[in-house]
Structure 1
Amino acid sequence: MKPKRVEVLIIGDELLDGRVADTNTLRLAEALSEFNIQVTQRTTILDDTPTIVKEAKSINARGTDLCIVSGGLGPTSDDLTALAFANLGNVQLERDTETAQKIKERLIEHKRPVTENQLKQADRPVSSQILKNSVGTAPGFSFRYQDCLFMAFPGVPKEFDFMIEEHILKPLRQEALPSLKKKSFRSFGLFEAQVDDLLSGLPNKFPSIRLGYRAHFPEIIITLKASPQDEQTLEEASEFVREQLGPSLFSEEEGPFAKGLIESLINSKETLSIAESCTGGFIGHLITEVPGSSQAFNLGVTTYSNESKIKLLGVKEETLSKHGAVSEATVIEMAEGIRKLSQATYGLSVSGIAGPDGGTPDKPVGTIFIALSKEDKTETKKLSLLFGREKNKILSAFSALDLLRRRHHYPRGNS
């Protein structure tokens, strides 16, 4: 039966002191959205029995009929979830003999000692139901308190995801619930506010479509959701998004950033070689995330020093002396040099000042030059970035590949 109100209760000191981030709720909410089920509230609390009991009572009082609990089921002294729910229901803990035996067998198989704290993972509140865990030691349990069903799972992401699939998602699919229709669009090169402005007309034009944004640096992910009966409207709204985003839309699928570009190069039987400096090989990493990229990716070098730029790429000493390593003139010679050296269709280069030091009044930190060379033309792009070193490197690498993507997909310059 489809729950009307769903909450998530996250238990663990480590989630409140910055040691660990809660990613379980994000994946859970995404999975539940398939069935048009929305998580209405998430609460994170300490490993503390009275606190768990108090919060569970509050969740029930809010009219929640399903609460998914994450964490506090392990073998250590601060794993208190089972004890807390026994106190909530004013019942005793009992040890499930079958679960205890499986824990013993698993420990012996992995040549680990069988200890009391390991076996306590088989302890559950009387009247609760064991939720089997085939990928870990600690099982979960379901426990009804008044009008709310609490389902407790280990907080380890791999185990949590597996058990959510087995004990929540599979039963929902068996009920043949109508699934929410969804489209995702990945944009690069625009700020979130710019994307929002471009799509500002969508809610009025398509009121039955739910529009959402998520920044995943350096991408902006746009999501459209609709009920099954609005599938045609969803298609119309999707076309509106495509038209509005234009060349900044690089994919409607999950996967590596460079996937569409590499596939396009393979289909056109063209090749790419890259010469990196400030990105330190990150462009090559983005390319080789794509399976089969060797069909298009010819050569990649990181020429960090001036000497390597001269010896490997043929950059002129005069160019470096006159303009510096971070300059339009230098990246042009780098891109043309790597293209000629490897006999690739395209040569792509980047050089810049990622930070935190090295900037000058004329070339402050964040100054990046990119060049794209083809046999008949070499073009450049200058970036003035305002982030720290890591993000400057990431954005430079993405921007270099995006320059080629746009030229390859929009050769007449509609970018």
Structure 2
Amino acid sequence: MKLALVLAIAAATHSVTTGTIKTPSPSTRVFNSNVSGTSPALINRKPNEERPTVTFWDDDHATEVDWKKSAAKGGALMCALEGSDQVAGRQIRDTREPPSAASRYNSDLKTELHDWYWRETNPSTFSCSFSEHWHLAHAMRSLGLDGKPASEGGDNQCYRIEHWNPENRDDKGNQIPAINQWYSVPGHDKQYRATKAHFEFGINTKGGAIYGLFLESALASAKSIWGGGTKEPNRDDLPQLRAFSDIMWAFWVRNNPNVRNIRYFFMIGISNDLTNQIIASCLRDAGAELSEWPGTSFSTTTDQGHALLGSPNGATFAYFLMQHKAQLGQKTITKITVFRPETDDDLSFVDASLCFHVADGPQPPPDDAAMAATDEAGARSVQRTSLRDSRDVKGISVISMIRIHEIYI
């Protein structure tokens, strides 16, 4: 049986949606796979604006097609995580010899990010207040993590990076809109246009955690401001450096004496429709409800764990580990925990969050043996790969490079 799955990586189509409380109406839901789950209201949020309320509907489940695609994608990502770099490179159809999954972006990227017109701005004042603002104090304590921002003596430092220059002004002192901002990149002959993409995230190098907060990919943002929300941008016009996994890495390695100390990834306050539908399906299968920490955990050896890892909010973390095996060692994701904030709010008025548990993985077999075993089993992975990078947030959505895998079972 031939199963084709689209790895729309991106890390990242996660974000928190603003707006009024919605009435359950699964039949009227619209999911756009090119959008990271960020609402127009969030795109225009003020830097220190209060976190909006997002509704999670426990009876709005993933369709059979979406479930199978996400589970297959998650399974493929687990194979890449647990294989060697060469095996992972073959899986993503890398053209180097020998093949490798390693990202070409493996430093702090200060020069590269600036060249590609990314600018750091101030994150929200509450972003790294995981215990107080996000109401995750028990989860933080249980995992041995500090829940305070660095500004209050805590271990968490938040960052926000945007793909435009908010300081650009015209002759009259007016801010130049992102759609009218153009830039050149050393070594490239063309002019590029700003997308106004943004990634806001937290890093705790001491505790070993990375938190995804407010995220919108270059593809999703360009579609919104260049194409009025309807026209897909030409991917050649997007910044080559746009994957959330690469940007996370750039900040993770800065002033970090132990880059291998990655223990947890979080997506906080998920609003992406497809991810929420997958979460609802997983909880239904487990006979569980969305609950406070310890929540409900799903092993990545299960279909549920695969579906969560392959969801728009999961794949970017797999890429972070898979593309930096040389620096991190052989890391894998063992389980994914679904949980909600520790508040008295009604279940209908809280966001689901995800925690991805990272551990050292077993050393893979030699590449030749691994490939022989794969051939013997009759499973041939990754027949063709699109070089459109859907790893941008990635939608995660990860949305900037879409890799197409065909797996023969």
- TM-score class normalised by the smaller sequence: under 0.3
Q: Which has the larger radius of gyration?
A: 1
Which structure has more RCO (C-alpha within 8 Å, separation ≥ 6)? 2
Q: TM-score, normalised by structure 1?
A: 0.23
Of Structure 1 and Structure 2, the greater helix share is in 1
Q: TM-score, normalised by structure 2?
A: 0.23
Of Structure 1 and Structure 2, the greater strand share is in 1
